[in-house]
Chain A
């Protein structure tokens, strides 16, 4: 069996607020962080609401770029996690972080008044601040330098599974003995006009614009798409012996992780759910657990018709003859934080284990009876020792992480 990896710090930022405990209190109360987008003009767009984390630096007509916001949210989450772990910069291990792809956005492009790329290439030449802002490794590198992490920051993009992939890569680095500890994080801020338009064109988003708080309604008959959201989550992972030797408080464990690429389609799971089931099985095998050991599934649960149907079916298949444990989606409250979701939701599993309480899936007024799972309509006490966190992404990316309770 693989060595357990201790979690000694947790940080979180979502539309529900800054800080893991603030988020937990809001989730247990069943609050929604989804609201109308105000940081840019949404006239004519299919979706006009999101889980927005607006910041003081957002200026009218020129909000922060995806890269800049993701960096700030990541910094807040990592800073919180390090403080809880009793650590500070420099950090003696790598930064593994799920982040969105970035590119120069329209407000920056517009500044140069160019009509063609040839003109733009000439006029933007030597704009090094913009260059550094929009490098694919730029934001993560600044976070790595801010916290003094070691080596190359492992910036992973597996679409909506990125945060879970970051946990898996950190876990592997510690198991291989490359480091005694690692920061596993996800930071997301893709909510800018062009990205919202692109997801809208894929018909992936909820259009329940007149009811933002009711829009993310995983597992219901009326679910109609996901709701984009900003956010960040961070976990400090440590070799258990290392954590004990330095007297750190062990909050819980990452017991294992599993992944499986789906070769069926770019945006849909294989109809038999085989890749999703395989990734959950691999996570359990990696943790040395059987399905009966899992007391809670924090589902990917995006609130799209396709995902929730496939995921519920796959979870039932995984548990076979056993009744599946409660299956909740906290995206009902915080929206879909894309690259950060895996890190945030692993953090939520940790909080649920520590409080022995299940966070709810809100908006369960018309649960889809065909799904056959207990979706946790209201928060409730629950006695359990391990939770499974699922993350699935476009491109056939499937990752599951098993979080265990502290002794």
Chain B
């Protein structure tokens, strides 16, 4: 395996966009919150971003905010790495949930509570044809290819937090093993969507009441975020950081701590100065299992700065880790994460 470098970072979150805005958070920063819109559940909202300037109008019309955010963050990463002229050969791996539903139409139907045939008629009359394409999970990748001309391979992985870690693991494995020379990997998540909060409410996961940091809560405060990174062979590029190791595992919840401990045992040597950054969500059991495996509290919870981004959570934590290295805050960073329902992951980043 050849060393893999992170050569570009595109990140946009409630804290703004870009490397500088996010590197500045690493010394500690207050979260940006909307505690009213989905009260009693706080969310870290998406700020106004210049989508219109970055995405051609005819493409923008085909997307809702989830795809727009992903396409925007992917563009930031490509520009950050200065790779516009190499997009034709760029491979793409996206971790995705689903796109937006037309929640206003949903509420009209819920309020009318119609019989089956009438419900179908309301859907037939109310759904916009293009909305389907804004909903399909792989259409964020499709929109990235169309908007930025990324024309290598294109794969979209599903599966909540695990899919974000797995996207990075596979991207790094492909670059490391020589089956890809250049890979764009990442995810986007929009927290401010009622149908998304409904899913996690069913799991009993939503934090209720005033916001509290991960270490002091037993629930999740979701945050909107888009994050993409370009990965390339370290020797052939000028990397921001070396992605030395990424490993994932999954199994039944009772084995979380043991699996995470095994992943930690499999890490290359860690120095005593290694910064520990956690992608923990705050979900009770999973986060407790992660902390138990770590032995001591992490130096930083990414969710305290950005909220929890589900599929995008692990990539966002890895991006913050790369920024910690680039800004001189650390020479080595360990990133850990345990998905709210399933999945464990670790990554080790080092200074080039």
Bound-state Cα–Cα, A117 to B145, Å: 33
Return the CB mask of B94-105 against A: 1 if under 8 Å, else 0: 001110010100
- Judge if A265 is at the interface, Cβ distance under 8 Å: yes
Given known pairs A262-B145, A263-B151, the reply for A131 and B252 (CB within 8 Å) is no
Given known pairs A136-B98, A137-B163, A151-B250, the reply for A44 and B117 (CB within 8 Å) is yes
Identify which of A217-225, A379-387, A393-401 touches chain B: A393-401
Q: Is the CB of A261 within 8 A of B153?
A: yes
Q: Is the CB of B120 within 8 A of A131?
A: no
- Which partner residue on chain A sits nearest B97 by CB separation? A136
Q: Is the CB of B194 within 8 A of A118?
A: yes
- Judge if B107 is at the interface, Cβ distance under 8 Å: yes
Nearest chain A CB to B145's CB is how many angstroms away?
4
By a CB distance below 8 angstroms, the chain A residues around B131 are 198
Nearest chain B CB to A127's CB is how many angstroms away?
4
Return the CB mask of A140-172 against B: 1 if under 8 Å, else 0: 110011000001111111110010010001001
Return the CB mask of A40-51 against B: 1 if under 8 Å, else 0: 111111000000
Chain B contact residue count (CB 8 A cutoff): 78
Bound-state Cα–Cα, A106 to B128, Å: 18
Given known pairs A198-B127, A261-B145, the reply for A137 and B194 (CB within 8 Å) is no
Nearest chain A CB to B235's CB is how many angstroms away?
20
Nearest chain B CB to A142's CB is how many angstroms away?
10
- Which partner residue on chain B sits nearest A40 by CB separation? B116
* 8 Å CB interface, A106-121 against B: 106, 109-110, 113-118, 120-121
By a CB distance below 8 angstroms, the chain A residues around B166 are 152, 154
Bound-state Cα–Cα, A115 to B112, Å: 8
Which of A41, A145, A162, A259 touches B120 (beta carbons < 8 Å)?
Answer: A41
Bound-state Cα–Cα, A126 to B204, Å: 4
By a CB distance below 8 angstroms, the chain A residues around B135 are 101, 198
Q: Is the CB of B198 within 8 A of A104?
A: yes
Q: Is the CB of B146 within 8 A of A265?
A: yes
- Judge if B49 is at the interface, Cβ distance under 8 Å: no
Nearest chain A CB to B179's CB is how many angstroms away?
6
Q: Is the CB of B341 within 8 A of A132?
A: yes
Q: Is the CB of A152 within 8 A of B343?
A: yes
9 tightest A-B contacts by CB? Answer: A395-B142, A137-B159, A117-B194, A131-B202, A131-B203, A198-B132, A136-B158, A261-B154, A201-B129
Q: A157-B136, A200-B124, A395-B143 are in contact. List 7 more A-B contacts (CB 8 A).
A: A44-B121, A104-B198, A106-B119, A131-B341, A136-B163, A193-B119, A263-B145
15 A-B pairs with C-beta separation under 8 A = A121-B194, A121-B206, A128-B203, A131-B200, A135-B341, A136-B96, A141-B250, A155-B163, A156-B155, A158-B156, A159-B142, A175-B179, A262-B145, A397-B138, A397-B141
